[in-house]
Structure 1
């Protein structure tokens, strides 16, 4: 089944490590890679992929595209245009898909989200999902969102969470969850074993820490800011101590 995953990030280092592993996959030798990213992310990803260049068809197998330039081509007004998206992006994906598996990294939706263009971001995700119904490819989307920020809650996050099959962890394994559980314990709150998080396409594939944050904001809106502020202090202090 095609993957359409999303990762919220603050740290480029953790994001790009996850993205490089996603792009290489298990059958890198038969993969075609498309990177539609900011200049910094393009450069960093290529550097991470180069040590594995003997595993993949670099000649014709890698396409680098600028996120802002591509958005300018597919978005003549306030929202992405279906025909232009298909001409610029869809045609390339279809071409590669006839010759092997296709993996894509994308900054476009996240950059729209960063600019406050939430509807345009959601519309772009819809176009990706529409394309996926006719072509097989795996897509990794990156959103510059701090999960401790008040904006990360189910109402504002619903669009980008609903449009992806899986939310990837935004931090190294266990560190964020440990900080959250400690803060919840201090506040006398216990998360349920199964947290219901509206807006998730595949709730079982959501990291425990991110699910916990959304559950806390929905179940205890008054206490959530203080608990999350404490959790963030635990998390940042632990990161500095490493």
Structure 2
């Protein structure tokens, strides 16, 4: 397993002769990050991305799940380069806009972030050492304000035109640590598989817990909505009843007043008193209903 000197802020360099060496180094780098709960960003060619995925699957790692939860992020090296290269050189503002912003998103989501990049290798193989070193400089400048670890992969064949070795020397100086062949050959595949199994078991438990929480939250929301409906319906029914009682109250009061007026103008006191008594009883019933609504 690849051991980081400082996993949150390191700049690693891996020089390789064979793709099998690169695949082993990068998958070590990926597994270490994912097992630690970090976000892992891969910026590589399509061929290498497929090789990394194939080796992870061989080790039993569920890459689809890591991609789905955005812990593992895959970017095409050539397509990403095209977003910030201007006239054969990396543009700082465009680099910060695309790479810096993407890093910020991952830093906000995860406790730590690590990235593997071979855009520099693409530039070096394209016989553009000036752009290569400029891009390494932008990565280092980015690390001054953000915590992340970075692994850069270079094929030794990319330096065939570097006769004096000056570019290779500058590339080496722009990194904190160089991964040796011993680091690669001494990695234990069986241990990797065991750690991956443990990690994926913990991930399954976490996913089950999240799913259970979502189910509980949905049930609580349904209960809340039902209560709101019941309360709303009760309020509507009460408002309707109050309107009806208010109407009955007005009618009863009007009847009493009419009966009082009759008492003033007629000698048939018995009829008027009966009407008043009837209206008074109606008012008493209305009053009782009103009290029950309080």
State the TM bucket, normalised to the shorter chain: 0.5 to 0.7
Going from structure 1 to structure 2, the CA distance change for 1:152 and 1:41 (only over 3 Å counts) comes to farther
Matched residue, 2:115 = 104
Corresponding residue for residue 191 of structure 1: none
Which structure's residues are more often helix, by fraction?
Answer: 2
Counterparts of 2:118 and 2:20, CA distance in 1:
15
Distance 2:157 2:28 in 1: 22
Cα shift at 1:28: 2.2
Q: Give the distance between the partners of 1:150 and 1:76, measured in 2 at CA.
A: 23
Equivalent in the alignment of 2:174: 163
- Matches of residues 55-70 of structure 1 in structure 2 within 5 Å? 57-58=66-67, 59-70=69-80
Q: TM-score, normalised by structure 1?
A: 0.64
| 2:269 equivalent in structure 1 | none
Q: In structure 1, which of residues 9, 16, 41 is the aligned counterpart of residue 16 of structure 2? A: 9
TM-score by length of structure 2 reads 0.54
Corresponding position of 1:180: none
Q: 1:118 aligns with which of 129, 139, 161?
A: 129
Q: For 1:114 and 1:167, how far apart are their aligned partners in 2?
A: 20
Q: Which residue is 2:48 aligned to?
A: 41
Look up the SS of the partner of 1:60 in the other structure.
Answer: coil
Q: Which structure would you say has the larger Rg?
A: 2
Counterpart of 1:25 in 2: which secondary structure? helix
Report if aligned partners of 1:8, 1:170 keep a CA contact under 8 Å in 2: no
Partners of 2:113 and 2:163 lie apart in 1 by 30
Deviation string 1:99-154 (CA, Å, 9 cap, x unpaired) is: 22111111100110111100100000111111111111111111111499684865
Structure 2 Cα separation of the partners of residues 113 and 53 of structure 1:
33
Aligned to 1:23: 30
Contact 1:9 1:15 in 2 (8 A): yes
Q: Does 1:53 align with 2:62?
A: yes
Which segments of 5 or more consecutive residues in structure 1 lack a partner in the other structure?
A: 175-242
Which residue of 1 is the match for residue 93 of structure 2? Answer: 83
Instruction: Name the Cα RMSD after superposition.
Output: 2.7
SS of 1:52's partner is: coil
Q: List gaps (5 residues or longer) in structure 2.
A: 1-5, 187-294
